[in-house]
Amino acid sequence: MSGPLPAGGDRCGWPQAILFDLDGTLIDSAPDIANAVNELLA
């Protein structure tokens, strides 16, 4: 099966990546990450 990808670049709505947070670091840091992104975009 070959050819161009549909608009949006994905096939059948499948995720392009899966992220595993085995030790909970990203979940524990989510508020800090959100604040940093908000400061960056302000």
Q: What is the pLDDT of residue 1?
A: 52
Residue 37 to residues 7, 21, 25, 28, 40, Cα–Cα distance (Å): 28, 20, 17, 16, 5
The DSSP-derived string for 1-42 is --SPPPTTS-STT--S-----TTSHHHHHHHHHHHHHHHHH-
User: How does pLDDT run along the chain (42 residues), one tens digit per residue?
Assistant: 566 666 655 566 787 888 888 887 778 888 998 999 999 998
The domain locations on the chain are 18-42
